[in-house]
Amino acid sequence: MIMETKTVAPGITRFDRENRGGGGFMVRICRKGKRINEFFSDTGCGGKRKARQAADLRYKELCELLGPVKPATKNKLTSRNESGKVGVHEAHSIDNRYSNCEYSAYCASWVTKDGKREKINFSWNKYGQDEAWELACYARDRELSDRDAVIKGYNRRKLARKKKSATKRK
């Protein structure tokens, strides 16, 4: 069974089941480590539109009950982080079209205000491991997925640092 999901609003995800029909909306909310998940099925609510209305209403009720989201956790380092930088991780992939063809990169990712996930990768082969790390961190800090803008901004910053260190030496 294949299930298609789509975030339709903050805290609300649409689930559609292929071959079985139906689906519904999942309300998810987390406050102070406590997670609440509630599902509103199309059939149980009397249709897709009514299920969405029920999900919207429940999400609003939970927000009022539990309080607003505190964005302070957005850039908080957790125990799951292995790179030391929030939103940046190593990505490894293998191209099966060629033997022994493995790629490594640093990937920067974040969630936009409208709930959409954005990401950008910087290859170790193309940029070198150290510069790929710097570019990924720069992209994550500024939430930029436009590669040209990231490289341009990073190079400007790099040049400014060079000038600053040169003036300190004099």
Q: Quick check: 90 and 103 in contact, CB under 8 A?
A: no
Average pLDDT of the chain is: 85
Q: Which residue has the higher pLDDT, 9 or 74?
A: 9
Give mean pLDDT, residues 12-17: 89
Q: Specify the pLDDT at position 149.
A: 93
> 168 pLDDT band (50/70/90 cuts)?
low
Handedness of CA 152, 158, 162, 164 (dihedral sign): positive
Token code pair at residue 22: 């139906």
> What's the pLDDT tens digit per position in 119-146?
999 999 999 999 999 999 999 999 999 9
- Burial class of residue 145 in the structure, from the number of CB atoms within 10 Å of its CB (0-12 exposed, 13-18 middle, 19+ buried): middle
* The residue type at 167: T
For each of the domains in the chain, give its residue range(s) and CATH number, in order of start.
3-69 (3.30.160), 88-169 (no CATH)
Q: Specify the pLDDT at position 13.
A: 93
- If phi over 0 gives left and psi between -120 and 50 gives alpha, with beta otherwise, what is residue 164? alpha
> What's the pLDDT tens digit per position in 56-96?
999 999 989 888 766 556 677 777 777 778 889 998 888 88
